[in-house]
Amino acid sequence: MESNANDLARYAALCQEANLVPIVEPEVLMQGAHSLEQCSAVTEDLLHCVFDEIYAQGILLEGMILKPNMILSGLDCPTKSGINEVADTTITCLLQIVPAAVSGIAFLSGGQPPEVATAHLNAMNTRFMARLPWPVTFSFARAIQQPSLQRWAGLEVNTAAAQQVLYHRAKCNQAAIRGEYYPSIESP
Protein backbone atom coordinates (compact mmCIF):
# COMPACT_ATOMS: atom_id res chain seq x y z
CA MET A 1 0.00 0.00 0.00
CA GLU A 2 2.81 2.41 0.89
CA SER A 3 4.67 1.63 -2.32
CA ASN A 4 1.57 2.25 -4.42
CA ALA A 5 0.78 5.44 -2.51
CA ASN A 6 4.33 6.64 -3.16
CA ASP A 7 3.92 5.86 -6.87
CA LEU A 8 0.64 7.79 -7.01
CA ALA A 9 2.20 10.80 -5.28
CA ARG A 10 5.26 10.69 -7.55
CA TYR A 11 2.97 10.53 -10.58
CA ALA A 12 1.10 13.58 -9.23
CA ALA A 13 4.37 15.44 -8.75
CA LEU A 14 5.50 14.67 -12.30
CA CYS A 15 2.15 15.82 -13.69
CA GLN A 16 2.29 19.07 -11.77
CA GLU A 17 5.90 19.66 -12.83
CA ALA A 18 4.63 19.41 -16.44
CA ASN A 19 1.70 21.78 -15.68
CA LEU A 20 -0.83 18.96 -15.88
CA VAL A 21 -3.59 18.20 -13.39
CA PRO A 22 -2.98 14.75 -11.91
CA ILE A 23 -5.88 12.40 -11.43
CA VAL A 24 -4.85 10.35 -8.41
CA GLU A 25 -6.60 6.98 -8.48
CA PRO A 26 -6.35 4.86 -5.32
CA GLU A 27 -8.80 1.98 -5.58
CA VAL A 28 -10.12 -0.77 -3.34
CA LEU A 29 -11.59 -3.41 -5.63
CA MET A 30 -15.05 -4.97 -5.38
CA GLN A 31 -13.75 -8.52 -5.90
CA GLY A 32 -14.09 -10.60 -2.76
CA ALA A 33 -16.47 -11.27 0.10
CA HIS A 34 -15.54 -8.24 2.22
CA SER A 35 -18.21 -6.30 4.07
CA LEU A 36 -18.97 -2.62 3.70
CA GLU A 37 -17.19 -2.05 7.02
CA GLN A 38 -14.07 -3.89 5.83
CA CYS A 39 -14.01 -1.88 2.60
CA SER A 40 -14.38 1.31 4.62
CA ALA A 41 -11.46 0.44 6.90
CA VAL A 42 -9.18 -0.46 3.99
CA THR A 43 -10.22 2.62 2.01
CA GLU A 44 -9.53 4.80 5.04
CA ASP A 45 -6.06 3.27 5.49
CA LEU A 46 -5.34 3.64 1.79
CA LEU A 47 -6.40 7.30 1.65
CA HIS A 48 -4.35 8.14 4.76
CA CYS A 49 -1.34 6.51 3.14
CA VAL A 50 -1.91 8.31 -0.19
CA PHE A 51 -2.31 11.73 1.40
CA ASP A 52 0.77 11.20 3.60
CA GLU A 53 2.75 10.64 0.39
CA ILE A 54 1.04 13.53 -1.39
CA TYR A 55 2.08 15.86 1.43
CA ALA A 56 5.60 14.42 1.38
CA GLN A 57 5.85 15.11 -2.38
CA GLY A 58 4.58 18.68 -1.94
CA ILE A 59 1.60 18.23 -4.24
CA LEU A 60 -0.58 21.30 -4.72
CA LEU A 61 -3.93 19.96 -3.49
CA GLU A 62 -5.88 22.56 -5.42
CA GLY A 63 -4.24 21.24 -8.58
CA MET A 64 -5.28 17.58 -8.30
CA ILE A 65 -8.36 15.44 -8.65
CA LEU A 66 -8.98 12.36 -6.51
CA LYS A 67 -10.51 9.36 -8.31
CA PRO A 68 -11.38 6.86 -5.56
CA ASN A 69 -13.64 3.87 -5.29
CA MET A 70 -17.03 4.09 -3.67
CA ILE A 71 -17.12 2.12 -0.43
CA LEU A 72 -19.01 -1.06 -1.27
CA SER A 73 -19.37 -4.57 0.06
CA GLY A 74 -17.55 -7.13 -2.07
CA LEU A 75 -19.20 -8.85 -5.00
CA ASP A 76 -19.28 -12.13 -3.05
CA CYS A 77 -20.46 -10.62 0.23
CA PRO A 78 -23.76 -12.20 1.25
CA THR A 79 -25.00 -8.89 2.70
CA LYS A 80 -25.39 -6.14 0.10
CA SER A 81 -25.45 -2.55 1.28
CA GLY A 82 -28.24 -0.15 0.40
CA ILE A 83 -27.81 2.92 -1.78
CA ASN A 84 -27.94 5.36 1.14
CA GLU A 85 -25.65 3.23 3.28
CA VAL A 86 -23.00 3.27 0.55
CA ALA A 87 -23.40 7.03 0.12
CA ASP A 88 -23.18 7.68 3.87
CA THR A 89 -20.18 5.44 4.43
CA THR A 90 -18.30 6.74 1.39
CA ILE A 91 -18.83 10.44 2.09
CA THR A 92 -18.16 10.08 5.82
CA CYS A 93 -14.81 8.46 5.05
CA LEU A 94 -13.87 11.12 2.51
CA LEU A 95 -14.87 14.00 4.78
CA GLN A 96 -12.61 12.59 7.50
CA ILE A 97 -9.54 12.18 5.29
CA VAL A 98 -9.59 14.15 2.03
CA PRO A 99 -8.44 17.74 2.47
CA ALA A 100 -10.99 20.40 1.52
CA ALA A 101 -8.40 21.96 -0.81
CA VAL A 102 -8.57 19.02 -3.25
CA SER A 103 -10.17 20.29 -6.50
CA GLY A 104 -12.71 17.51 -6.85
CA ILE A 105 -13.61 13.87 -6.45
CA ALA A 106 -14.48 11.83 -9.53
CA PHE A 107 -15.68 8.36 -8.59
CA LEU A 108 -14.83 5.14 -10.32
CA SER A 109 -17.79 2.87 -11.03
CA GLY A 110 -15.58 -0.09 -10.12
CA GLY A 111 -17.62 -2.60 -12.06
CA GLN A 112 -20.99 -1.68 -10.55
CA PRO A 113 -24.01 -1.98 -12.83
CA PRO A 114 -24.55 1.41 -14.51
CA GLU A 115 -27.85 2.20 -12.79
CA VAL A 116 -26.45 1.31 -9.36
CA ALA A 117 -23.32 3.44 -9.80
CA THR A 118 -25.53 6.35 -10.86
CA ALA A 119 -27.88 5.82 -7.90
CA HIS A 120 -24.93 5.79 -5.47
CA LEU A 121 -23.55 9.03 -6.92
CA ASN A 122 -26.98 10.63 -6.78
CA ALA A 123 -27.44 9.63 -3.12
CA MET A 124 -24.08 11.19 -2.23
CA ASN A 125 -25.06 14.46 -3.86
CA THR A 126 -28.64 14.43 -2.58
CA ARG A 127 -27.65 13.69 1.01
CA PHE A 128 -24.39 15.63 1.31
CA MET A 129 -24.02 18.29 -1.40
CA ALA A 130 -24.42 21.22 1.00
CA ARG A 131 -21.68 19.85 3.28
CA LEU A 132 -19.11 18.87 0.67
CA PRO A 133 -15.97 21.00 0.31
CA TRP A 134 -15.32 19.57 -3.17
CA PRO A 135 -17.51 18.73 -6.14
CA VAL A 136 -18.40 15.06 -6.35
CA THR A 137 -18.79 13.69 -9.86
CA PHE A 138 -18.20 10.55 -11.92
CA SER A 139 -15.40 9.13 -13.96
CA PHE A 140 -17.25 6.03 -15.01
CA ALA A 141 -15.79 4.18 -17.95
CA ARG A 142 -17.55 0.83 -17.85
CA ALA A 143 -20.78 2.19 -16.35
CA ILE A 144 -21.18 4.66 -19.21
CA GLN A 145 -19.65 2.79 -22.13
CA GLN A 146 -20.69 -0.81 -21.55
CA PRO A 147 -24.43 -0.41 -22.25
CA SER A 148 -23.64 1.48 -25.45
CA LEU A 149 -21.05 -1.06 -26.57
CA GLN A 150 -23.47 -3.90 -25.90
CA ARG A 151 -26.16 -2.17 -27.94
CA TRP A 152 -23.72 -1.45 -30.78
CA ALA A 153 -22.28 -5.01 -30.87
CA GLY A 154 -19.87 -3.92 -33.62
CA LEU A 155 -22.68 -3.56 -36.15
CA GLU A 156 -22.98 -0.34 -38.15
CA VAL A 157 -26.76 -0.69 -38.22
CA ASN A 158 -26.76 -0.28 -34.40
CA THR A 159 -24.63 2.88 -34.34
CA ALA A 160 -27.44 5.41 -33.86
CA ALA A 161 -29.12 3.31 -31.16
CA ALA A 162 -25.80 2.86 -29.36
CA GLN A 163 -25.22 6.62 -29.46
CA GLN A 164 -28.65 7.13 -27.89
CA VAL A 165 -27.79 4.66 -25.12
CA LEU A 166 -24.51 6.52 -24.45
CA TYR A 167 -26.33 9.85 -24.41
CA HIS A 168 -28.92 8.45 -21.99
CA ARG A 169 -26.26 7.18 -19.56
CA ALA A 170 -24.47 10.53 -19.69
CA LYS A 171 -27.75 12.38 -18.98
CA CYS A 172 -28.49 10.06 -16.04
CA ASN A 173 -25.07 10.77 -14.54
CA GLN A 174 -25.44 14.49 -15.20
CA ALA A 175 -28.65 14.35 -13.15
CA ALA A 176 -26.85 12.38 -10.42
CA ILE A 177 -24.17 15.03 -9.92
CA ARG A 178 -27.00 17.50 -9.31
CA GLY A 179 -28.86 15.14 -6.99
CA GLU A 180 -31.71 15.00 -9.53
CA TYR A 181 -31.55 11.36 -10.65
CA TYR A 182 -34.56 9.11 -10.15
CA PRO A 183 -34.77 5.45 -11.17
CA SER A 184 -37.81 6.32 -13.29
CA ILE A 185 -35.41 8.17 -15.64
CA GLU A 186 -34.14 4.73 -16.68
CA SER A 187 -37.47 3.75 -18.24
CA PRO A 188 -38.07 4.83 -21.84
Structural domain includes residue 172: no
Q: How far is CA 88 from CA 31, 84, 120, 129, in A?
A: 21, 6, 10, 12
Selected catalytic residue, list 2, 67, 115, 186: 67
The pLDDT of residue 37 is above 70: yes
| Model-wide pTM > 0.85 | yes
Selected catalytic residue, list 2, 17, 25, 27: 25
**What pLDDT is recorded for position 188?**
60
Q: Number of folded domains in the chain?
A: 1
Structural domain includes residue 165: no
**What pLDDT is recorded for position 50?**
98
**What pLDDT is recorded for position 35?**
96
The mean pLDDT of 14-30, rounded to a whole number, is 96
Domain residues for 100?
2-143
**What pLDDT is recorded for position 110?**
82
Structural domain includes residue 123: yes
Q: Is 44 a catalytic residue?
A: no
In one-letter notation, the amino acid at residue 140 is F
Tell me the pLDDT tens digit for each residue of 151-187.
999 999 999 999 999 999 999 999 999 999 999 998 7
Structural domain includes residue 70: yes
Q: Supply the CATH number for residue 11's domain.
A: 3.20.20.70
Structural domain includes residue 170: no
Q: Is 80 a catalytic residue?
A: no
